[in-house]
Amino acid sequence: MLLLGSFLFADFEIPERIRGLLSGKQMLAIKRQIGGARVIDAMGPDPADIAWSGRLQGGDLVARLGQLASLRDAGQAVTLVCDSVVLTVVIGDFNVDYERPYQGTYDIRLVVQPDDTPSSPASLDDLVGADMDSGNQILGGSTTGGALDAGTTVSGNLA
Protein backbone atom coordinates (compact mmCIF):
# COMPACT_ATOMS: atom_id res chain seq x y z
CA MET A 1 0.00 0.00 0.00
CA LEU A 2 1.24 3.50 -0.82
CA LEU A 3 -0.73 6.49 0.44
CA LEU A 4 0.44 10.12 0.35
CA GLY A 5 -1.98 12.37 2.21
CA SER A 6 -5.33 11.50 0.64
CA PHE A 7 -3.78 10.23 -2.60
CA LEU A 8 -3.80 6.43 -2.96
CA PHE A 9 -1.38 4.85 -5.42
CA ALA A 10 -2.89 1.60 -6.66
CA ASP A 11 -1.83 -1.43 -8.67
CA PHE A 12 0.79 -0.52 -11.31
CA GLU A 13 1.07 3.04 -9.89
CA ILE A 14 3.09 1.73 -6.93
CA PRO A 15 6.76 2.16 -7.89
CA GLU A 16 9.17 -0.76 -7.99
CA ARG A 17 11.71 1.17 -5.92
CA ILE A 18 11.41 3.91 -3.30
CA ARG A 19 14.74 5.56 -2.52
CA GLY A 20 15.52 6.73 1.00
CA LEU A 21 12.66 5.14 2.92
CA LEU A 22 13.96 4.76 6.51
CA SER A 23 17.40 5.97 5.40
CA GLY A 24 19.37 8.83 6.89
CA LYS A 25 22.41 9.71 8.89
CA GLN A 26 23.37 10.84 12.37
CA MET A 27 24.25 14.53 12.69
CA LEU A 28 27.67 14.66 14.31
CA ALA A 29 29.72 17.53 15.71
CA ILE A 30 33.35 16.43 15.58
CA LYS A 31 35.86 18.47 17.55
CA ARG A 32 39.49 17.73 16.73
CA GLN A 33 41.94 18.31 19.52
CA ILE A 34 45.68 18.73 19.73
CA GLY A 35 47.43 15.39 19.51
CA GLY A 36 44.81 13.81 17.29
CA ALA A 37 42.11 13.23 19.87
CA ARG A 38 38.52 13.81 18.83
CA VAL A 39 35.32 14.50 20.71
CA ILE A 40 32.23 13.35 18.84
CA ASP A 41 28.83 14.66 19.85
CA ALA A 42 25.80 12.90 18.36
CA MET A 43 23.13 15.54 17.73
CA GLY A 44 20.31 13.37 16.46
CA PRO A 45 19.03 11.73 13.31
CA ASP A 46 18.85 13.46 9.94
CA PRO A 47 16.40 11.46 7.82
CA ALA A 48 17.12 11.13 4.10
CA ASP A 49 14.71 12.49 1.52
CA ILE A 50 12.38 9.89 0.03
CA ALA A 51 12.05 9.77 -3.76
CA TRP A 52 10.56 7.68 -6.52
CA SER A 53 9.38 7.80 -10.09
CA GLY A 54 6.13 6.43 -11.38
CA ARG A 55 3.46 6.34 -14.04
CA LEU A 56 -0.20 7.30 -13.83
CA GLN A 57 -2.77 6.28 -16.42
CA GLY A 58 -6.49 6.68 -16.92
CA GLY A 59 -9.19 9.04 -18.01
CA ASP A 60 -8.79 11.07 -14.80
CA LEU A 61 -5.03 11.57 -15.30
CA VAL A 62 -5.06 15.37 -15.21
CA ALA A 63 -7.24 15.45 -12.10
CA ARG A 64 -4.99 12.95 -10.28
CA LEU A 65 -1.81 14.78 -11.25
CA GLY A 66 -3.54 17.96 -10.08
CA GLN A 67 -4.17 16.36 -6.68
CA LEU A 68 -0.47 15.67 -6.22
CA ALA A 69 0.46 19.15 -7.48
CA SER A 70 -1.99 20.68 -4.97
CA LEU A 71 -0.39 18.72 -2.13
CA ARG A 72 3.01 20.08 -3.24
CA ASP A 73 1.73 23.64 -3.60
CA ALA A 74 0.19 23.61 -0.11
CA GLY A 75 3.63 22.99 1.39
CA GLN A 76 2.05 21.35 4.41
CA ALA A 77 3.01 18.16 6.17
CA VAL A 78 1.11 15.07 5.03
CA THR A 79 1.22 11.44 6.07
CA LEU A 80 3.08 8.92 3.95
CA VAL A 81 2.06 5.29 4.45
CA CYS A 82 4.22 2.69 2.72
CA ASP A 83 3.27 -0.81 3.86
CA SER A 84 3.80 -0.64 7.65
CA VAL A 85 5.97 2.52 7.57
CA VAL A 86 4.17 5.75 8.53
CA LEU A 87 6.02 9.08 8.25
CA THR A 88 5.16 12.76 8.19
CA VAL A 89 6.53 14.39 5.05
CA VAL A 90 6.41 17.55 2.96
CA ILE A 91 6.50 17.30 -0.84
CA GLY A 92 9.73 18.98 -1.91
CA ASP A 93 9.56 18.30 -5.65
CA PHE A 94 6.91 16.97 -8.00
CA ASN A 95 7.72 16.91 -11.71
CA VAL A 96 5.42 15.59 -14.45
CA ASP A 97 6.07 14.42 -18.00
CA TYR A 98 2.67 14.62 -19.68
CA GLU A 99 2.66 12.06 -22.49
CA ARG A 100 -0.96 11.65 -23.59
CA PRO A 101 -4.34 12.70 -22.23
CA TYR A 102 -4.51 9.37 -20.40
CA GLN A 103 -0.83 8.76 -19.51
CA GLY A 104 2.00 10.55 -17.74
CA THR A 105 5.10 9.90 -15.70
CA TYR A 106 6.32 11.79 -12.66
CA ASP A 107 9.18 12.12 -10.17
CA ILE A 108 8.49 13.01 -6.56
CA ARG A 109 10.77 13.91 -3.63
CA LEU A 110 9.55 14.01 -0.05
CA VAL A 111 11.28 15.65 2.90
CA VAL A 112 10.77 13.78 6.16
CA GLN A 113 9.59 15.86 9.10
CA PRO A 114 11.08 14.50 12.34
CA ASP A 115 8.54 13.34 14.91
CA ASP A 116 10.52 14.46 17.93
CA THR A 117 10.80 18.21 17.65
CA PRO A 118 13.10 19.47 20.37
CA SER A 119 11.28 21.06 23.26
CA SER A 120 12.16 24.60 24.21
CA PRO A 121 14.91 24.86 26.81
CA ALA A 122 13.82 25.32 30.41
CA SER A 123 13.86 28.86 31.77
CA LEU A 124 16.20 29.89 34.56
CA ASP A 125 13.22 30.02 36.95
CA ASP A 126 12.32 26.42 36.04
CA LEU A 127 15.89 25.25 36.59
CA VAL A 128 16.23 27.02 39.96
CA GLY A 129 12.83 25.69 41.05
CA ALA A 130 13.86 22.14 40.14
CA ASP A 131 17.09 22.55 42.11
CA MET A 132 15.14 23.85 45.11
CA ASP A 133 12.76 20.89 44.91
CA SER A 134 15.61 18.38 44.82
CA GLY A 135 17.37 20.16 47.70
CA ASN A 136 14.20 20.07 49.79
CA GLN A 137 13.78 16.36 49.11
CA ILE A 138 17.36 15.67 50.22
CA LEU A 139 16.82 17.67 53.43
CA GLY A 140 13.50 15.95 54.12
CA GLY A 141 11.31 18.91 53.32
CA SER A 142 8.83 19.69 50.60
CA THR A 143 8.27 22.62 48.32
CA THR A 144 5.38 23.76 50.50
CA GLY A 145 6.96 24.80 53.78
CA GLY A 146 9.88 22.37 53.92
CA ALA A 147 13.46 22.94 54.95
CA LEU A 148 14.14 25.46 52.21
CA ASP A 149 11.64 27.49 50.24
CA ALA A 150 12.33 29.64 47.20
CA GLY A 151 11.94 32.76 49.37
CA THR A 152 14.22 31.58 52.22
CA THR A 153 17.46 33.44 52.81
CA VAL A 154 20.36 31.47 54.28
CA SER A 155 22.82 33.44 56.34
CA GLY A 156 25.77 32.65 58.52
CA ASN A 157 28.92 30.70 57.95
CA LEU A 158 28.14 27.63 55.85
CA ALA A 159 31.75 26.41 55.67
Write down the domain spans for the chain.
Answer: 2-112, 119-153
Averaged over successive runs of 10 residues, the pLDDT of the chain (159 residues) comes to 95 94 93 94 94 95 95 96 96 96 96 70 61 61 50 52
pTM: 0.68
Topology classification of domain 2-112: Elongation Factor Tu (Ef-tu); domain 3 (2.40.30)
CA distances from 95 to 25, 51, 68, 81, 92 (A): 26, 12, 10, 21, 10
Q: Is 76 helix (H, G, I), strand (E, B) or coil?
A: coil
pLDDT on residue 141? 56
pLDDT on residue 115? 74
